[in-house]
Structure 1
Amino acid sequence: MLTTKSSLALSILAIISTTTFAETDDQDTSLSTLPSIKVKSEITEQNNNKYAATTASVLKTHLPLFKTAQSVSVISQQQIQEKQIQSVTEALQGVAGVNAAPYGRRGWDDFIIRGQISSAQTYIDGLRAQTSTNVLRSEDIAGVQSIEVVKGPTSVGYGLSLPGGLVNLTTKRPEAETFYHANATYGSYADREGIIDVNYSPNNTKQGAVRFVAKYSDQHDPTDYVYFKNTYLAASYNFDLGPKDEWSVIASYQHRDYIRNQGIPQNYLKYGRNVFIGEPDRSYDVNVYRFGSNYSHYFDNGWTYHQNFAVTKSTSWSDSVFAASGASFPTVTRQINFQDKQDVNYALDQNLQKTFNFGPVEYDAMIGVDMMKERSSYYQRVDNVNSFNANTLVYGITSVRQGTPSWNLTYNQYTGLYLKNNFKINDKWILNLSGRHDWTQVEVDNLRTGSITKNSDNAFTGSASLMYKLNDHFAPYVTYATSFMPVTDVGAQGQLLDPEEGKQTEVGIKFQALDQRLQGYVSYYDLVRKNVTEAVASTTYSMQTGEQTTKGYEAELSAALTPQWNISTAYSYIPTAKTTASTTTSDIGKRINHVPKNIASLSTQYYFAEDKQGWNIGGGVSYQGESLAQRTTYYTPIASYTLFNVNAGYQAKHWGASLSIKNLFDKDYIQGTTPNAQLITFGNPRTFTFNVNFKY
Structure 2
Amino acid sequence: MPTPRSLTLAVSLVAAGASLTAQAQQTDQLSTLTVTGQAATKTATPFNETPQSVSVVENEEWEARGAETVQRAADYTPGVFTNQIGASNRYDYLVLRGFADGSINNTFLDGLKVMSDGGSFSSLVIDPWFLERLEVVKGPASVLYGRASPGGLVAQTSHRPAFEPGGEVRLGVGNNAQRSAAFDLTGPLDAERRLAFRLTGLTRAADTQFGPVEEERYAIAPQLTWDITDATSLTLHAYLHKDPEGGYHAGLPFEGTVVDRNGRRISNNFFEGEEAFETFERDQTMVGYEFEHRFSDALSARQRLRYTESDVELEQVYAYGWASATELNRYFSGGEESLDALTVDNQLEARLATGGVDHTLLLGLDYQQRDNEVLWTSGMFPPIDAFDPRYGAEPSMMFPEVRQHRELEQTGLYLQDQLAFGNWRANLGLRHDWVDITNTDPVSGAESVLDDTQVSGRAGLLYAFDNGLAPYATYSTSFSPNSTTDQNGDLLAPTEGEQVELGLKYQPPGTRDRYNLALFDITQENVSSKLPNENFHRATGEIQSRGVELEAHSQLTEALSVQAAYSYTDVTLEKTGDANQGNHDNQVPRHQLAAWGNYAFQSGALAGLDAGLGVRYHADIHADDANSERVPDYTLVDATLGYDLERLGLDGMTARLNVSNLLDEEYVASCYDLNFCYFGAERSVKATVSYAF
Q: Aligned partners of 1:72, 1:102: CA distance in 2, in Å?
A: 21
CA contact (8 A) 1:645 1:664 kept: yes
Aligned AA (1:129): V
Whether 1:66 aligns to 2:48 is: yes
State yes or no: 1:601 paired with 2:594: yes
Distance 1:419 1:161 in 2: 18
Matched with 1:146 is: 133
Paired residues of 1:599 and 1:625 also in contact (CA < 8 A): yes
Gaps of 5+ in 1: 1-30
Contact between 1:185 and 1:689, CA under 8 Å: does it hold in 2? yes
Following TM superposition, by how much is the alpha carbon of 1:81 offset from its aligned partner in structure 2, in angstroms? Answer: 1.9
**Identical counterparts, % of pairs:** 25
| Cα separation, 2, equivalents of 1:51 and 1:689 | 34
SS at structure 2 position matched to 1:224: coil
* In 2, Cα distance between equivalents of 1:340 and 1:53: 43
Give how far 1:596 is off.
1.3
Q: Does 1:229 align with 2:235?
A: no
- Unaligned residue ranges in structure 2 (runs of 5+): 1-13, 258-264
1:382 to 370, 378, 381: 378
> For residue 481 of structure 1, what is the aligned residue in structure 2?
476
CA contact (8 A) 1:176 1:209 kept: yes
- 8 Å CA contact 2:87–2:681 kept in 1: the answer is no
- The 5-angstrom pairing of residues 84-95 of structure 1 reads 84-95=66-77
CA RMSD of aligned residues (A): 2.6
Alpha-carbon shift at residue 63 of structure 1 (Å): 1.2
Q: Assess if the C-alpha contact under 8 Å between 1:223 and 1:261 holds in 2.
A: no
Equivalent of 1:365, from 361, 378, 395? 361
Tell me: CA distance 1:399–1:476, structure 2 relative to 1, closer, same or farther (3 Å): closer
Instruction: State the partner residue of 1:34.
Output: 17
1:46 deviates by 6.0
2:691 equivalent to 1:694: yes
Equivalent-residue separation in structure 2 for 1:538 and 1:129 (angstroms): 37
For 1:75, the equivalent position in structure 2 comes to 57
The one-character-per-residue Cα deviations of 1:443-467 (angstroms, maximum 9, x if unpaired) are 1111232112322111211100111
> Is it true that 1:455 corresponds to 2:450 in the alignment?
yes
Q: Distance between the aligned counterparts of 2:74 and 2:240, measured in 1?
A: 23
- Using a 3 Å threshold, how does the CA distance of structure 1 residues 613 and 439 change in structure 2: closer, same or farther? farther
| Whole-angstrom CA distance in 1 between matches of 2:561 and 2:148 | 34
Q: Which residue of 2 aligns with 1:589?
A: 582
Distance 2:628 2:241 in 1: 37
Task: Give SS of 1:90's match.
Answer: helix
2:105 to 120, 142, 150: 120
Deviation string, structure 1 residues 45-85 (Cα, Å, up to 9, x no partner): 568x7699434355310111110000011110211222221
Structure 1 distance, partners of 2:26, 2:526, is 41
* SS across alignment from 2:48: helix
Query: In structure 2, how many angstroms separate the alpha carbons of the residues matched to 1:566 and 1:162?
Result: 33
In the comparison of the two structures, how many residue pairs are matched? Answer: 660
1:185 equivalent to 2:181? Answer no
Who is 1:239 aligned against?
A: 226
**Kept in 1: contact 2:560–2:599 (CA 8 A):** yes
> SS where residue 157 of structure 1 aligns?
helix
Distance in structure 2 (CA, Å) of the matches to 1:690 and 1:320: 32
Deviations 1:635-690 (A, max 9, x none): 541111111222111112310111122222222221123x3441322222332111
Q: For 1:672, which of 663, 670, 673 is the aligned residue?
A: 670
TM-superposed deviation, 1:32: 8.2
State the match for 2:117 in structure 1. Answer: 132
- Counterparts of 2:105 and 2:534 in 1: how far apart (Å)? 22
The SS at the match of 1:119 is: helix
CA distance in 2, matches of 1:475, 1:536: 46
> Residues 354, 153 of structure 1: CA spacing in aligned structure 2 closer, same or farther, 3 A cutoff?
same
Measure how far apart 1:210 and its partner are. Answer: 0.6
In structure 2, give the amino acid aligned to 1:210.
F
CA separation in 2, counterparts of 1:105 and 1:537?
32
Distance 2:15 2:655 in 1: 46
- CA displacement 1:276-299 (0-9 Å, x = unmatched): 001123210111100121111000
Task: Provide, for residues 248-283 of structure 1, a one-character-per-residue CA deviation record: whole Å limited to 9, x for no partner.
Answer: 121111111223142432222422101100112321
**Which residue number corresponds to residue 405 of structure 1?**
401
Alignment of 1:450-599 (within 5 A): 450-513=445-508, 515-533=510-528, 543-544=538-539, 546-574=541-569, 576-584=570-578, 586-599=579-592
For the residues of structure 2 that align with 1:43 and 1:548, how far apart are their CA atoms? 46
- Where 2:17 maps in the other structure, the secondary structure is helix
Give the 3-state SS of the residue equivalent to 1:386 in structure 2: strand
Write the letter of the residue equivalent to 1:175.
Answer: A
* Aligned equivalent of 1:21: none
8 Å contact kept, 1:413–1:440: yes
Residue identity opposite 1:108 in structure 2: Y
Q: Distance in 2 between matches of 1:110 and 1:295?
A: 31
CA distance in 1, matches of 2:25, 2:355: 27
Q: Residue 32 of structure 2 contacts residue 511 of structure 2 at CA under 8 Å; is this kept in 1? A: no
Which piece of structure 1 moves more, 173-182 or 623-632? 623-632
Please tell me whether residue 432 in structure 1 is matched to residue 419 in structure 2.
Answer: no
Q: CA-to-partner distance for each residue in 1:112-144, whole Å, 9 max, x for gaps?
A: 101101221111111111252122333211111
TM-score for both structures, normalised by structure 2:
0.90
Structure 2 contact 585–625 (Cα < 8 Å) conserved: no
Post-superposition offset of 1:571: 0.8
**Structure 1 510/275 Cα, relative in aligned 2: closer, same or farther at 3 Å?**
same
CA contact (8 A) 2:623 2:630 kept: yes
